[in-house]
Structure 1
Amino acid sequence: MDPLFTASDYPSNQSSNASEANSTVAYWNQFVQPVWRIVLWAIAYSSIVVVSVVGNVVVIWIILAHKRMRTVTNYFLVNLAFAEASMSAFNTVVNFTYAVHNEWYFGLVYCRFHNFFPIAAVFASIYSMTAIALDRYVAIIHPLQQRMSAIETKVIIGVIWILALLLAFPQYYYSNTDQLPGRVVCYIDWPEYTVWDFKKIYYVCVAVLIYFLPLLVMGCAYLEVGLTLWASEIPGDSSDRYQEQLTAKRKVVKMMIVVVCTFALCWLPFHVYFLLHQFFPHLFERPFIQQVYLAVMWLAMSSTMYNPIIYCCLNDRFRAGFKQAFHWCPCLPDASYEGLELKSTRYLQTQTSVYKTSRMETTISTVLQPAEEEPRGVVPTWGSSHVAAADRRPSGDLTSNGSSSRSVSKTVSETSSFYSSSNLPE
């Protein structure tokens, strides 16, 4: 995330006089790494940036460029992808550079942004996932309740970002740079109060608000949803339509559970690390702690690159979108371009059935229509006695036959309407 959770706030607390500043420099100069180790860490962090930015940008394009993908859940996925791509692009490399060199090269303005934005982005990410969990809960546990509209979804996303910016504002307001002997540092100049420790309280609140509380809410929501989808069945409803809807809902919930669990596992060491630092600072006075910090930060930042991979592996439509986005890649065969309009296989099969049924209706109407209009006194070239008998039938029978043909056509038409209206996926 940002080094201001770590050593970057130390100069403020330890440089009240020149001697303390000099001792701080001597301490942090112990964190010197060999070149080969820096190169390996640089490759690891750079891979996060490339995979995260490219993958999340493709996710945003898949959803916004295809009308069929613009659902409530996917709007929150757009917000999640934007937050993760932004944090990866603007903070990962800078954070790594500062953690390795312990010197700030980017000025006061970016120092404030660098401390401010990651907390806002993580807040927006995890509360987008929370909103998806609650939306799934309402859709499955209370199916008769009205769902959120597109406008309401955008308003919720706006509220999430406003709250995120408010939570991160102290990091921006108290950020500062300082010139120490031989280097510049970016740190947070936390106010000191005699009654209570503002810095410690703030970090505890941040950990609760952007990790433990939303995970608790999502855990309860998905537990209830999982029990409903996997441990219970609707009595007497075993239709194909019901089973298809149940399977589709299970797939979406399974995908989001994987996303949430991945986020939780990636960020757990990060929050444990910094909470321990607030209460047991003496544990972090050894040189090896720099490697621990780089590993913990890499794992946390890597959470931004896993979601596009999860979407591609667990969702057919996202997989089709990724194939379309990377159609130039020689490893993708031409046959893999099916479903580029991001429609499910069942949808395409339904459209084929509708087309065949319409052709059947047209054929029946074409074949039966001449029989209605055939003059009664003309004997066809069939030459059969049955034809002659049919020719001598009263007009009432012929009218009955005409009604029967129209009835067949009407039945086929109604069947076509049923397939086109009720079998399309939601």
Structure 2
Amino acid sequence: MINMSTNPGNAILEDFNNMTNAINATSKAFIESVMSTTMINDGPLVDSDAVSPVTLSMEWSRVARLLIMIGLSVIGSIGNVYMISSVMIEDHLNKRGNTFVANVALADLLISGLVIPASAVVILSGLQDSPPVCQFQWFLSILCCLVTVLTMAAVAAENYIRLCLTPECYAKLTVTKITTLLFAIWIISSILVTLQSVYNMGPDYCNKKISRIVPTQALTAGAIVLAPLLITAGLYMRITYQVHVARLNPSFKPPLAFNWDYSLMLANAYSFVMFVVFWAPFTIVLALATIQRQQSAQVFYNLAWLALSKSCFNNLVYCAGNRHFRNAYVNLFHYCCCKTTVTFSRRARDGATRPSGDVRVHIIPGYNMYSYTSPTRSRESGSCPLQGRPRARANGGGGGLGCGGGGGGGGGGGGRDVYEL
């Protein structure tokens, strides 16, 4: 009887121990998979010798690759400088919330001004590849991409607060908070990209190897990249819906500034769509490469450069989609490229010969850039310095204080003073 009573107990205890061991083994394997910070099953890309991550496909001529790099760098650098300058000097764009837009342009400027020219230098030197340059390009590209993703979410949130919430809520978005948020975006992005580089998480871009991603890396990438993109898309759809519903109300008569802000929001939304269009193919190929072992290196790296070229054309989206950016671009072009110096001489009066006066005209109305003449002409005309005129805002009705008999109106010209000779 004792043996019969103890045998079932021993069997149950043995089954329990086996179950516990199985659970422990499963948990250990899961924890090791989650806590792993290294890639597994490294494998080279197909036809990896025919393409370079720095200098593109070897099948293309050297001159063609060099012209592509130089063209992208010139277009992107000039356009991004114009975009940042527009936010600083254009009255309608000089708002604290548009600092986020300038931050996106700054990230694009780093790619067009540092990443792409580095490839041009390697091509000029006659090298087929340069691992140090590739590591620099990959680090800076991922950093700027992550900064852009987080900043676009901040841009969408700022647009939502400005258009859909009360002015009291928007007033809480102070300059200090915006500056702190921008610094936080750059610091967090730098830390994450540094960890990715140190622990070799993600694809081995420069060594042309794509490996399977462990679950923790997939979750991290989804939380850092995919979540902000979904939030950005949701905010833009929310803004568009609320504005559409409000405009259905016959009593809704928004001020002119609201229409300007909504137009800028649409330009920001177009920029977001452009980012997704340029980066989605590379992201999809990268995800497929972690599953399928056979992946073309030419397709992979060509799509990577397509994604980077977004930084060269993003400024054109704002030029085409927002008239204030477009006007600022035109004025900056006139100021930088079309400055003219006119030399003229006036007829003498009472037998006295007057010196000729050199006149330089800066054609940017309302941008605190002035037309000025020689000191002799200034004394003769008795005019006061143009710097003394108050700067009229675009939505302000009053005119500036003129000198002499030219006193003032500014209402008919959009509130800006146009200085002509």
Query: Which TM-score band applies after superposition, normalised by the shorter structure?
Result: 0.5 to 0.7
Cα 1:341–1:130 change in 2 (3 A) is farther
Task: Give, in whole Å, the separation in 1 of the partners of 2:368 and 2:320.
Answer: 18
Q: How does 1:4-403 map to 2 (within 5 A)?
A: 13=42, 28-29=48-49, 31=51, 36-65=60-89, 69-94=93-118, 104-105=129-130, 107=132, 110=133, 112-143=135-166, 144-147=168-171, 148-174=173-199, 186-187=206-207, 199-201=213-215, 204-205=218-219, 207-209=221-223, 211-233=225-247, 237-239=251-253, 242-282=254-294, 284=295, 289-327=296-334, 328-329=336-337, 337-338=364-365, 340=367, 347=394, 350-352=397-399
Task: Give, in whole Å, the separation in 2 of the partners of 1:253 and 1:129.
Answer: 11
Task: Give, in whole Å, the separation in 2 of the partners of 1:340 and 1:35.
Answer: 49
Task: Give, in whole Å, the separation in 1 of the partners of 2:157 and 2:401.
Answer: 39
Task: Give, in whole Å, the separation in 1 of the partners of 2:193 and 2:86.
Answer: 30
Q: Structure 1 regions of 5+ residues with no counterpart?
A: 1-8, 15-23, 176-184, 363-415
Shift of 1:208: 2.5
For 1:332-375, what per-residue CA distance to the aligned partner results, in whole angstroms no more than 9, with x for missing partners? Answer: 9x998555469x998267234x889xx9xx9xxxxxxxxxxxxx
For 1:232-263, what per-residue CA distance to the aligned partner results, in whole angstroms no more than 9, with x for missing partners? Answer: 23856455xx2423322321221111111111
Task: Give, in whole Å, the separation in 2 of the partners of 1:98 and 1:276.
Answer: 30
1:48–1:302 contact (8 Å) kept in structure 2: yes
Higher helix share: 1
Shift of 1:203: 5.6
For 1:199-239, what per-residue CA distance to the aligned partner results, in whole angstroms no more than 9, with x for missing partners? Answer: 54466356524542222101111111101112323856455
Shift of 1:114: 3.1
Which residue of structure 2 lines up, in the alignment, with residue 407 of structure 1?
A: none
TM-score scaled by length of structure 2: 0.62
Q: Structure 2 regions of 5+ residues with no counterpart?
A: 1-37, 341-360, 370-390, 417-421
Question: What's the secondary structure of 1:350's corresponding residue?
Answer: coil
Shift of 1:62: 2.8
Q: Which amino acid aligns with 1:351?
A: G
Task: Give, in whole Å, the separation in 2 of the partners of 1:26 and 1:72.
Answer: 49
Task: Give, in whole Å, the separation in 2 of the partners of 1:295 and 1:113.
Answer: 18
1:229–1:246 contact (8 Å) kept in structure 2: no
Task: Give, in whole Å, the separation in 2 of the partners of 1:237 and 1:335.
Answer: 44
Shift of 1:94: 4.4
Q: Which amino acid aligns with 1:227?
A: Y
1:130–1:218 contact (8 Å) kept in structure 2: yes
Cα 1:31–1:221 change in 2 (3 A) is closer
Query: Kindly, what percent of the aligned residue pairs are identical?
Result: 18
Shift of 1:86: 0.5
1:122–1:210 contact (8 Å) kept in structure 2: no
Task: Give, in whole Å, the separation in 2 of the partners of 1:299 and 1:64.
Answer: 29
For 1:172-202, what per-residue CA distance to the aligned partner results, in whole angstroms no more than 9, with x for missing partners? Answer: 3146xxxxxxxxx954999x9xxxx6x5446
Question: What's the secondary structure of 2:290's corresponding residue?
Answer: helix
Task: Give, in whole Å, the separation in 1 of the partners of 2:142 and 2:71.
Answer: 22
Shift of 1:280: 0.9
Shift of 1:104: 4.0
Shift of 1:300: 0.6
Q: Which amino acid aligns with 1:295?
A: N
Q: Which amino acid aligns with 1:326?
A: F
Shift of 1:156: 0.4
Which residue of structure 1 lines up, in the alignment, with residue 14 of structure 2?
A: none
Cα 1:35–1:26 change in 2 (3 A) is closer
2:91–2:394 contact (8 Å) kept in structure 1: no
1:174–1:189 contact (8 Å) kept in structure 2: no
1:28–1:102 contact (8 Å) kept in structure 2: no
Count of residues paired in the alignment: 319
